[in-house]
Amino acid sequence: MTGRPIGRIAVTGVGPVVEHGGRPAKSVIGEEFEVVATVFREGHDAVGATVVLTDTDGHEHRVAMHRVDTGLDAWSATVSADRPGSWSYRVEGWSDPYGTWHHSAVINVGAGVDVALMLEEGARVLERAVAEVPRSKEQAVTLTDAIAALRDAGQTPEARLGAGVAAEVQAELRERPLREHVTTSSDHPWLVERERALYGAWYELFPRSEGARLDDRTGQWRTGTFATAARRLDAVAAMGFDVVYLPPIHPIGRVNRKGRNNALRAEPSDPGSPYAIGSSDGGHDTVHPDLGTIDDFDAFVGHAHELGLEVALDLALNCAPDHPWVTAHPEWFIRRADGSIAYAENPPKKYQDIYPLNFDDDPQGLYAEIRRVVQFWLDHGVTIFRVDNPHTKPLWLWERLIADVAAGRPGVIWLAEAFTRPPMMHTLARIGFQQSYTYYAWRNTRDELTEYCTELAGPAAAYMRPNFWPTTHDILTPFLQRGGSATWKMRAALAATLSPSYGIYAGYELMERVARPGAEEQIDNEKYEYKDRRWAEHDEAGTTLAPYLRRVNQIRRAHPALHRLRNLRFHHADDEHFLVFSKARRIYDRDDVILVVANLEPEHTRDTWIHLRMPELGLDWPDRFVAHDLITGENWNWTEHNFVRLGPATEPVHIIHVRPEAVIGPR
């Protein structure tokens, strides 16, 4: 025989399970998700099912499952964890003597068949439940009273049966059931992480641009520094962001340095791409001298922490031709037939200023150096790594590195910047990356967004957490190139509400949307030059989306429903250019419900009827409720069917708080 024996009670189809239990399913502290299983047995006797959670200390916690589809023998339970670490769960299937008796007794006593026998069998089942299952005296009284009533010949059969199937008896046996023939599934690993692994608002900035100034007299740039960039952090925090993300801050190579807009020839004043790492000034464990010293970096991190911001650093395993590793460890690079080192290519893109690493000739030595570099930045306050192009490195590297770091620093978060084939993106998530870049930037229509987000919030959510970015320093989609402020508002609002984690690249507030001809990236790309965005002037003139981003982030923080992914539910609109979705979450004894309605062509005023799946909002189909728009402060009386008009003259997106206490229709 191969495989696990079936057991007395069949327990199959347990989920979520990642790679047949070879890798852990993931959640964060307090994140609820469903454990499902198929549980059945031969014949017609009743069965029950229980999820057994084993916490980090080895203690077991049992959660009753409920049947969700009788015909398919499908069972489900909602579970969550109260602390981070390595948990596991399994499903137990068991024969239910009380449930079997309950079903037969109701039928037979109602038909007058074997009445006395059925009532006595019920009393004996309850006696077993008292004797065999630990319970308090008060809990036992509920059952002993029912036993006495079942045997009370002075009462009618109907009254005696009623005592045996009373609601309080059923509730007690749901909580502490009498179980026979218990059969267990395998234990499945479950990794519980801190909330930032799932939820957070990111803001990307280049330190060299924050505080950079062009000298009109000389035509030369004065670079920004860690000190000037630290002054920008107050505005970032004021907009409500949680993470400040820095592209590489290391020395930049001088050999084959790229000029403006990726030009092959750099002018003497061109700073080069920060992804061409390394020079005579140092490598991956060094800060660019133009930015300051490592003490200045520490001060930057310290100020970020004072403002409640975590610092994410780009881990880009690229080397400029003059990186110290090229001389010290030539075996770490790929040699071509003519003896030269191969530069990086991603056809049609060519990166003559970057040498990719070779992990085949000295994998242990190279790994040890990378691990040392990561530890260096951990020791300087970095808690998150955004990994550049992880799909171009061996998968074993990330599996080993992330696990190794987690052994000493379990709260460190890794974001995979991989826009590549889905199998690679999903595998990176399975082997340890807490978050993943996605194709959100290129999903624009209702069908595209619905299909993609349903995938991400469905089975993939057990291991892959999306981070939605409308733009990055590499990406400026045609949709945003063509759009005005309504379009830029809409894409930011959707990113912030569809996904618990989303990111904004500096300059989004100013709607920087001029592309380099023939490319989906900005002209005068910040990767190759300084940017003086003159923030104060835009704030004074009101030509910035900063107030809108601040409001969206305030809404996110105030509404825990938006901190989750698996609770995403879509609703219908007659106009295909509208997207309607909701998120609901119970906090203690209250439901937080957010409903979002977006015009996906916001430069044009459009109207439509939307049709809500009221139970997804915690309401009954006939109910009415007050829809409070969290962007504008307006209120409307809404029902299942509502008329909506959105466009450039109003707002492109309704972010609506569904107020249960304000429901004025029938309940």
Distance CA 581, CA 570 (A): 4
The phi, psi pair for 514, rounded to 5°, reads -90, 120
Judge whether 514 and 521 are in contact, CB under 8 Å.
no
- The amino acid that residue 663 corresponds to is V
Q: How far does CA 108 lie from the centroid of its chain?
A: 52
Distance CA 628, CA 646 (A): 16
Distance CA 185, CA 4 (A): 9
Residue written as token pair 């770091």: 405
Residue written as token pair 């109602």: 110
* Angle between the N-to-C axes of helices 226-238 and 294-306, in degrees from 0 to 180, rounded to the nearest 10: 10
Helix, strand, coil percentages in the chain from 3-state DSSP, rounded to 5: 35, 25, 40
Distance CA 28, CA 83 (A): 8
Question: How is residue 91 annotated by DSSP?
Answer: E
Which string of DSSP letters, residue by residue, matches 394-432?
Answer: -HHHHHHHHHHHHHH-TT-EEEEE--S-HHHHHHHHHTT
**Active-site entry in 193, 417, 521, 526:** 417
Query: What's the CA angle centered on 414, arms 408 and 420, to 5 degrees?
Result: 145
Judge whether 24 and 191 are in contact, CB under 8 Å.
yes
Distance CA 4, CA 233 (A): 56
Distance CA 112, CA 156 (A): 12
Tokens of residue 357, six digits:
């690493």
**Active-site entry in 172, 242, 322, 388:** 388
Residue written as token pair 């809990």: 139
Identify the helix (H) or strand (E) that includes residue 586: strand 578-587
HEC string of 136-204 equals CHHHHHHHHHHHHHHCCCCCCHHHHHHHHCCHHHHHHHHHCCCCEEEEECCCEEEEEECHHHCCEEEEE
- 57 included as an active-site residue: no
Query: Which residues neighbour 158 within 8 Å (Cβ) at sequence distance 6 or greater?
Result: 109
Distance CA 233, CA 221 (A): 22
Distance CA 328, CA 89 (A): 48
For residue 312, CA distances in Å to 205, 208, 377 come to 11, 16, 10
Sign of the alpha-carbon torsion through 342, 281, 287, 271? negative
- The amino acid that residue 167 corresponds to is A
Query: Which residues neighbour 360 within 8 Å (Cβ) at sequence distance 6 or greater?
Result: none
Distance CA 290, CA 285 (A): 15
Distance CA 443, CA 454 (A): 13
Helix extents (H) in 559-659: none
Judge whether 133 and 180 are in contact, CB under 8 Å.
no
Distance CA 397, CA 416 (A): 13
Which residues are 36's β-sheet partners? 15, 76
- 388 included as an active-site residue: yes
Distance CA 428, CA 401 (A): 12
Residue written as token pair 């005592």: 163
What positions carry a catalytic annotation?
A: 388, 417
